[in-house]
């Protein structure tokens, strides 16, 4: 299994108890629909399979997992902060008209005032909003993705047109 053959679902946040239970925070929106027979964790750049012996999902985008052969805290601790993936074949189908902010990764961001900002290299979900990351003038800048700032999403040309508040990027450009 390679990263290209899988999709990211979240990461291990912490251990729980002494018997190897791990908490997973889901960054994948429809995590309740996923099948958890085996999870792939990125360990030293490799996708390592971990067979799930049991799990319980929670409303707060987390789940508690027990893996086969991870039966104590000493075996579980090295897995904390590891990214979790599932095979692409297990990714739920979406309606063609469904669009998520995370789909904007790879789009070119264009501000109506500043012009082209660059390619969106990452979209992260935070408790209050989604935030896009772009390399602009050799600096990594972040800006919120919300309806107030988005003018147009052209999913044919992969262009996101924005009207960012004046001075928002000054925080990054003039520290």
Span 117-171, pLDDT tens digits: 999 998 887 777 889 999 988 889 999 998 889 999 988 899 999 999 988 888 8
Q: Which two tokens stand for residue 95?
A: 């309606």
pLDDT attached to residue 100: 74
pLDDT in tens, 20-32: 999 999 988 889 9
Average pLDDT of the chain to the nearest whole number: 90
Q: Cα–Cα distance between 112 and 103 in angstroms, integer? A: 21
In angstroms, the Cα distances linking 52 to 17, 20, 29, 63, 103 are: 17, 12, 20, 12, 29
Average pLDDT over residues 56-79: 95
pLDDT of 171 reads: 82
Contact indicator for 7, 88 with CB cutoff of 8 Å? yes
SS3 state at 15:
strand
- The whole-angstrom separation of Cα 55 and Cα 50 is 13
Residue with tokens 């925070």: 25
Whether the full predicted model's pTM is greater than 0.75, yes or no, is: no
Burial class, 149, CB count within 10 angstroms (exposed 0-12 / middle 13-18 / buried 19+): middle
């Amino acid at each position: 299994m390679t990263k290209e053959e899988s999709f990211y679902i979240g990461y291990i946040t912490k251990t729980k108890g002494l018997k190897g239970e791990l908490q997973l925070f889901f960054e994948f929106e429809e995590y309740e629909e996923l099948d958890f027979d085996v999870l792939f964790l990125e360990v030293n750049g490799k996708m390592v399979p971990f067979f799930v012996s049991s799990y319980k999902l929670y409303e707060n985008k987390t789940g508690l997992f027990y893996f086969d052969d991870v039966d104590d805290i000493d075996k579980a601790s090295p897995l904390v902060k590891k990214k979790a993936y599932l095979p692409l074949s297990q990714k739920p189908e979406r309606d063609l008209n469904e669009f998520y902010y995370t789909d904007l990764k790879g789009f070119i961001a264009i501000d109506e005032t500043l012009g082209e900002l660059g390619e969106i290299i990452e979209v992260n979900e935070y408790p209050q909003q989604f935030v896009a990351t772009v390399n602009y003038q050799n600096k990594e800048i972040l800006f919120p993705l919300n309806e107030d700032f988005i003018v147009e999403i052209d999913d044919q040309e992969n262009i996101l047109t924005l009207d960012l508040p004046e001075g928002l990027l000054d925080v990054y450009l003039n520290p």
